[in-house]
Amino acid sequence: MGKCLLTISILTGLISACHTAPNPAGAKEISAPQPTFDTGKWIDAWVEMWNTYDLSQVEELFVTDDTVTYFSSEKQGLIRGIDAVIEHHRGFGFVKGGKTQSNKLWVEDLQLTPLATGAVVSGTWFFEKQTGRLQRGPVTFVYVQQGDEYRLSHLHFANYQPVLPAGGQAISLLGRPLYTPKLDESTLTKHTKNLEQARIQYEADPDAADALIWYGRRTAYLGRYTAAIDIFTKGIENHPDDPRMYRHRGHRYITIRKFDSAIDDLAHAAHLIRGTEDQIEPDGLPNAKNIPTSTLHFNIHYHLGLAYYLSGKLQRALDAYRDCLKVSKNPDSLVATTHWLYMTLRLLNKEDQAKGLLEPITAEMAVIESFGYHQLALFYKGALDEKSLLSGGFSWIDDPAVKYGLANWHHYNGRTEQAMELLKELIASSNWATFGHVAAEADLSRL
């Protein structure tokens, strides 16, 4: 755990200036804790205040004048004065008498430094929101003695930036490390064999664009997304005008939750393909009929739309998906684009346009692999009810997509609780690389 370290003499000076007459001995650290300061008592009271959202306790725990100061992890600048501190807590939802709520705060690694006129306690704070998002960082409490009790004179929060642990592939949008997904033995064996063949072909001709692309794609299929990005980066260095390199790296930037980087790559790829003839993009994981269902232009616009959508840039997502719809030439690509475009339109309150988008969608469409998106589009159209939708027996890829689409449908129809339940269920699964899982994280992080 990191610790928030502050110079004792500076802190003592702060306390002395605000609450006591100058004391030359005040800058000296006392060798033994003051018997009247109970770290557990005062920190526990503050933790209880946060876990009950009790606004009444703010005045009981803080110095109640204009000298109290507060640095928040959520707001820039110094908060000064008890009225401003109370208002800050009210902004988080605190109410007089407290309330039942699902967020949870706790502190660890507490370190006490007793002072002549008070005490300093430092440690690490953790805050887990009801959405599953976890924040953590250093915290410093400055207490001053007032009679027989202590009051908070200064509180300083900070946020730690999530650090990718050894073996991790990404940090989720809720602050949790994501590790290489586990594959069943058969899939692992198949992908490992394919990767070895791709590596041999690449090493035999490292300047060949196709060999590098397959080496990167096969690496990603084993869940080694950061390594795949490194491979595609090398491809961009060697083939800077090949849109396929940016398309594949952009896709994997989405996987590891780096949406701005994904947008940069995919927007550049869209620029490179402007005015060029579209081409079939071979599947790395062939479908049951071994018929590729997507093209280079489709994949670039599709993933660009997704990166914008996940970033909350809905108007830009709308433009990208409309470009994608123009190159969605078969049933599979059509239902996939329709699903994301429909959700985008609904979130932009363009319900009539969203409804009109569903006209070409029928139950008889010859969909080869995008079954989840097809069923969702039929559900949006009213041709399926929710029970029928959820009884589809979908694959590990389709299942998160269906749950996310349903959660979003509940959301923009005003059923927030049902939406939240589905989103939380989604992120509890291990399929964190699927687009439905990523989108659920994005929504929960914003909520």
Name the DSSP letter for residue 433: T
Separation between Cα atoms, residue 270 and residue 302, nearest integer Å:
10
Could you give the angle at which helices 416-427 and 398-412 cross, rounded to 10 degrees?
Answer: 160
pLDDT in tens, 378-417: 999 999 999 999 887 787 788 999 999 999 999 999 999 9
Separation between Cα atoms, residue 251 and residue 301, nearest integer Å:
11
Residue count of the chain: 447
Same domain membership, residue 205 and residue 181 = yes
User: Which CATH number characterizes residue 96's domain?
Assistant: 3.10.450.50
Token pair in block for residue 232? 């595609």
At 3 the pLDDT is 35
**Confidence (pTM):** 0.76
Can you tell me whether residue 22 is helix, strand or coil? coil
**DSSP track, 85-107:** HHHHHHHTT-BTT----S-EEEE
Separation between Cα atoms, residue 29 and residue 113, nearest integer Å:
8
pLDDT in tens, 337-372: 999 999 999 999 999 999 999 999 999 999 999 999
At 8 the pLDDT is 36
Residue 183 lies in a domain: yes
Residue 162 lies in a domain: no
Same domain membership, residue 317 and residue 178 = yes
For residue 245, the tally of other CB atoms under 10 A from its CB is 27
Separation between Cα atoms, residue 361 and residue 342, nearest integer Å:
12
Separation between Cα atoms, residue 203 and residue 208, nearest integer Å:
10
Residue 356 has, within 13 A of its CA and on its CB side, a CA count of: 5
Separation between Cα atoms, residue 170 and residue 161, nearest integer Å:
13
At 21 the pLDDT is 36
At 392 the pLDDT is 74
At 64 the pLDDT is 95
Q: Tell me what the mean pLDDT of segment 58-82 comes to.
A: 94
Where is 351: in which H helix or E strand?
Answer: helix 351-357
Residue 163 lies in a domain: no
Range of the domain at 79: 8-157
Same domain membership, residue 402 and residue 271 = yes
Residue 202 lies in a domain: yes
Residue 25 lies in a domain: yes
